[in-house]
Structure 1
Amino acid sequence: MTVKYKAVKMNSPLKKEGRKQQYYPRVAYREKKNLRDVAERISEMSTFSTIDVVGVLEAFVSEIPFFLKDNCSVELGDLGTFSLHVSGEGVDRPEDLKRSNIKNVKMAFRPSTRIKQEFKQVGFKKISQ
């Protein structure tokens, strides 16, 4: 398996370099797989039917937000951990901080050590523009 990438001209993210444009690697021609694709692959390597796997994955998708909204992180063994993060407007005193100061809620995913190790073995292939 090989990840294809291309060179993309962008402004340097470092402020000290000013507006200097450089080429950075970006993943290219990424193919999208859906829940059914994942279920079919799992079904091929197990005794579960595709329909059984789809049912479990659909339940999984509905339950993750339930636990996150209940102020929990969700650790999934060798996959990693899902958690909620908030950002918003700052205030000068802690007692002035209110719900209205929260402007954004995001779900974050931190891959496990095992998954991170898998990424160290990725092959790359540069494609022409």
Structure 2
Amino acid sequence: MNVKYVLALKGNPGNPDAPKKYYAQTKSVGDITLKQISREIAENSSTVSDTDVLAVLNDLTKILNRHLKNGEIVRFGDFGTFQINIKSEGAESEEKFTTAMITDTKVTYRPGSDVREMLNNIKFEKL
């Protein structure tokens, strides 16, 4: 199956007078839940049930959150790594900086070798 995309006409925010251009944007064709993933994993294994897999995936989510919250980089082998990143307002000096100046937090994901390989071989189809 190919990744679907649509074209969107967008202006250049750095140069509002520049002509607009068409850019590709991915378009999802659905989603999958953790419960559905657990069933799919269980179907490919003869030794565990989907309930067992779901329990492990739920614990994995809790552990991932705990370690990210502790400021650790979480490495999932060939799947990739997760890390907390922040944005903040600037301060005139270190003494004037407060945590209230932190404006955004996000989790950054960097793909591992298996996911990079998938990305290198991906095919696209206009929706």
Give the TM-score taking structure 2 as reference length: 0.88
How far does residue 118 in structure 1 lie from its aligned partner after superposition? 0.9
Letter matched to residue 52 of structure 1: D
Matches within 5 A, 1:1-129: 1-12=1-12, 15-16=14-15, 18-46=17-45, 47-127=47-127
**Matched length:** 126
d(CA) in 2 for partners of 1:57, 1:102: 31
Q: Which runs of 5+ in 2 are unaligned?
A: none
Compute the RMSD of aligned alpha carbons.
Answer: 1.7
Q: Which runs of 5+ in 1 are unaligned?
A: none
d(CA) in 2 for partners of 1:112, 1:102: 29
Flag as ranges the 4+ runs of structure 1 deviating above 6 A.
Answer: none
Give the direction of change, closer, same or farther, for the CA distance of 1:102–1:29 in structure 2 (3 Å limit).
closer
Letter matched to residue 108 of structure 1: T
Letter matched to residue 12 of structure 1: N
d(CA) in 2 for partners of 1:9, 1:121: 27
How far does residue 19 in structure 1 lie from its aligned partner after superposition? 4.2
d(CA) in 2 for partners of 1:48, 1:34: 19
Q: Secondary structure at the match of 1:5?
A: strand
How far does residue 114 in structure 1 lie from its aligned partner after superposition? 2.7
How far does residue 41 in structure 1 lie from its aligned partner after superposition? 1.3
Give the TM-score taking structure 1 as reference length: 0.87
d(CA) in 2 for partners of 1:35, 1:19: 44
How far does residue 20 in structure 1 lie from its aligned partner after superposition? 2.0
